[in-house]
Chains A and B, each alone.
Chain A
Amino acid sequence: MAPTLSTQLDVILNDFERNVPHVQATAVVSTDGLVIASRLPSEVEEDRIGAMGAAILSISNRSGGELERGEIIRVLIEGDDGYILIRSIGEYAILVALVEKDVRLGLLFYEANKCIVELLKIL
């Protein structure tokens, strides 16, 4: 029996988390802000991650266009205790990752690219 979409997404997110030390949580969200798949700690509210991730990327894309910065490649929010990485996955989905401060950003971006290529194959 072929694995379900949900299982395939979970495998890809799990690989991403395994390949990048310090990634704490990941989610694939629709551009509507609704969670498609997630690997989040229990204290993180899934609905909020979805809604906020989609809104942040949407505002960023809008700003990029209005301010003539071209297509937005990624949104990286830096806080005292870590990062939030948000990337488009094609036209209809978004990858959101919560990452600890100690992460190697180069590795994070590289693996995020690989993860998105894999996600695009099934979404």
Chain B
Amino acid sequence: MADIKQVVLDRDLNPYHSFFSSFFGGLAELGMINQGSINIVSKRAAEYLYSYLEAKEILPDMKAVPGETSTEVAKNLILYINKILSLVGEYEFKEVENGLAVLLITGNTCRICPKGVGGAEVKGTLCPIPTLVVSLVNKIAQQELLELVTTGIEKDGPSCRAYFNVLN
């Protein structure tokens, strides 16, 4: 297991990051959750987060969200979501070909990984970010802006990546 104290400092974690990543990491070690169930509950969580943002009156005005293309609008919504939730330190969202975008996360800056932060010693991935992002972006945009292509996250060396179809 990685040095937990170092992870806290390196990734600039808040107490909720530590709690939720270790909580979900523990459930995964018991065999109770997997990437499939994380995808399902992330979608549910997006509904609740949307209600939270609505209640707090901090939802962005879609007319004021900058971006001339759907990809740019989605990129700015992801920026907003990451600012609110502080999910990751470094990431990039970009179009890789016509209508296909990738979210590239620098793995060792992720603050909610049940494995990297929460210490889950299990095979496979346990990433809530792709489904959470796609569900929350679409909910905020009030339209299907993104569609998840990958079923979770793909580990590629130090990066984690998820692909999306950009619609409209």
**Chain A residues at the B interface, C-beta cutoff of 8 Å:** 29-35, 47-48, 50-52, 54-55, 58-62
Q: Which residue of A lies closest to B35 (CB)?
A: A32
Distance between Cα atoms of A50 and B152 in the complex (Å): 13
- The answer to whether the Cβ of B30 comes within 8 Å of any Cβ in the partner chain is yes
Secondary structure at the A interface, as helix, strand, loop or mixed, is: helix
Please give, as numbers and ranges, the residues of chain B lying within 8 Å of A60 by CB-CB distance: 31
Check if A47 sits within 8 Å of B39, measured CB to CB: yes
- The answer to whether the Cβ of B86 comes within 8 Å of any Cβ in the partner chain is no
Q: Of B30, B36, B40, B125, which one neighbours A62 at CB under 8 angstroms?
A: B30
Check if B124 sits within 8 Å of A52, measured CB to CB: no
Chain B count of residues within 8 A CB distance of the other chain: 15
- The answer to whether the Cβ of B2 comes within 8 Å of any Cβ in the partner chain is no
Distance between Cα atoms of A55 and B32 in the complex (Å): 5
Distance between Cα atoms of A62 and B121 in the complex (Å): 13
6 contacts between A and B (CB under 8 A): A34-B151, A34-B152, A47-B36, A55-B33, A62-B30, A62-B31
Check if B37 sits within 8 Å of A59, measured CB to CB: no
Q: Which residue of A lies closest to B122 (CB)?
A: A58
Q: Which residue of B lies closest to A66 (CB)?
A: B30
Q: Of B33, B34, B37, which one neighbours A31 at CB under 8 angstroms?
A: B34
Please give, as numbers and ranges, the residues of chain B lying within 8 Å of A61 by CB-CB distance: 31
Distance between Cα atoms of A118 and B123 in the complex (Å): 25
Sorted nearest first, the 6 A-B pairs with minimum C-beta distance are A33-B36, A58-B31, A51-B36, A33-B34, A51-B37, A32-B35
